[in-house]
Amino acid sequence: MDLPDPALGTPTLDRDAVRRVSLGITFDNTYARLPERFFARLPATPVAAPRLVRVNRPLAELLGIDADALESPGGVAALAGNAVPEGADPIAQAYAGHQFGGFTPQLGDGRAILLGEVVARDGTRRDIQLKGSGPTPFSRRGDGRAAIGPVLREFIISEAMYAMGVPTTRSLAAVRTGERVLRETVLPGAVLTRIAASHIRVGTFQYFAARQDVDALSILADYAIARHDPEAAHAERPYEAFLAGVVARQAALVARWLHLGFVHGVMNTDNTTVSGETIDYGPCAFLEAYDAGAVFSSIDYQGRYAYGNQPGIVQWNLARLAECLLPLFSDRQEDAMERAKAALSGFAPIFTEAYAAGLRAKIGLATARDGDDALVEDLLRRMADGEADFTLTFRRLCDAAADPAADAAVRILFSDPAAYDEWAPRWRARLAEEPVDGVTRRHAMRRVNPLVIPRNHLVEEALAAAARNDDGPFERLLAEVTRPYEERDAGRYAIPAKPAERVTQTFCGT
């Protein structure tokens, strides 16, 4: 396959011409030390008038970064791309990907720059990336910029997901650029500083597989193993152990999404990480009324990435990763295929058990017994038929598990309350089989059933206000969603949208 070389015409990073600032960040940039064909080396494009929206101070502390330094003029300049922190080695990473089932052999960071890597206080390595930082050789005629809405959407939802215990990239900072970007309308520009265990995607492997660059595949796989699966290096078959590790992480991740009613919206292979973190919060959304077929993304015309389709899509994406690794498994195609299938076969049992265990916990069951799956699935079916709010139903079950008088608050969520009335006695009979008192059970259920999620209408409200230069709704929503399980009077943040407020479509923002 004759494919374009992204390195052709790549600007050279003139280290003398780039403004450097000292922020006291200790970088150790291992990815930038890989062969040059893995990335394009260039700095971010400066912006007109950077202004800080927010620094995530707890995350800065975890990373060992001085939040005060980030909030200083030099720090804001670095977060906006107007300066490069000392020790950083900025690059745009190369990758490919299947987008809605169609393969594109060259995608890459079209509006992002990886500044470098730091080792956090907990010993984990983290990427620091600027998103919306200007054009790169991978921009495909795009402007390389981001609007304030998508930046703050990712900030809100990634931090909410982290607070809910979901593996995810995180948001360190958001900066307004003082410039405008043209999408459907003219919008204020912004840059997000994203933190990730790495930005290695299924699509990164696809990039080199499409070029039949087996040497690069081997280098990338060895690097990914060292970074994410060091124990696989000692396995009899390291590359198969690596694939099995990715399969296990992704199976557990998608189960967590379903437990929370999360719909990613654009599960392309370039949005599937080998680290097992959720990445790229574009047209994502959360269920309100339970619906396995729910689609929010404005570009998902066929419902490929509907809520209930997500496990199957993850499996499909993992099969694409397995295809890339075949040359590393064996020189014999038939043998390589059998090894790939063996690794992929781990998905179904891991996902099934994780999904079932999570649902049992959501209805207060600490042990597994025959009939539990049917009991939960019957509740979900009744929720779908009765258009019951997903998050609120499970949260109110926490109180009902401790006191039957609390049933009243659950049953009114169903269009026909009799649907709940018919289910509840069987649920209580099952609860009675476990030696757990009601107060203990309620406490355990509140740890897995959030009170507050980033409800779609509240997210859109915050983004619309930010586009008018009012960050107050963003700040208030962020404060609520980062305390998802805490019992309190959360007011409007804990209740579904009114009919006139419902959000039926979400947008990517690129």
Residues annotated as catalytic are 270
Q: Which residues contact 151 (CB under 8 A, 6 or more apart)?
A: 131, 132, 174, 190, 191, 192
Retrieve residue 487's tokens: 């019992």
Angle at 131 between CA 128 and CA 133, to 5 degrees: 110
User: How many residues are listed for the chain in this entry?
Assistant: 510
| Helix or strand run (H / E) with residue 343 | helix 333-344
* 8 A C-beta contact, residue 192 and residue 173: yes
CA count, 13 A, side-chain hemisphere, 424: 24
* 8 A C-beta contact, residue 430 and residue 372: yes
| Helix or strand run (H / E) with residue 476 | helix 472-481
Retrieve residue 422's tokens: 């018919």
Q: List C-alpha distances in Å: 180 to 43, 147, 186, 192, 287.
A: 20, 8, 6, 15, 32
Q: Hey, what amino acid is at 386? A: G
Torsion sign (Cα): 127, 131, 135, 139 = positive
Alpha-carbon 93 to chain mean position: 18
Token look-up 């995350």 returns: 59
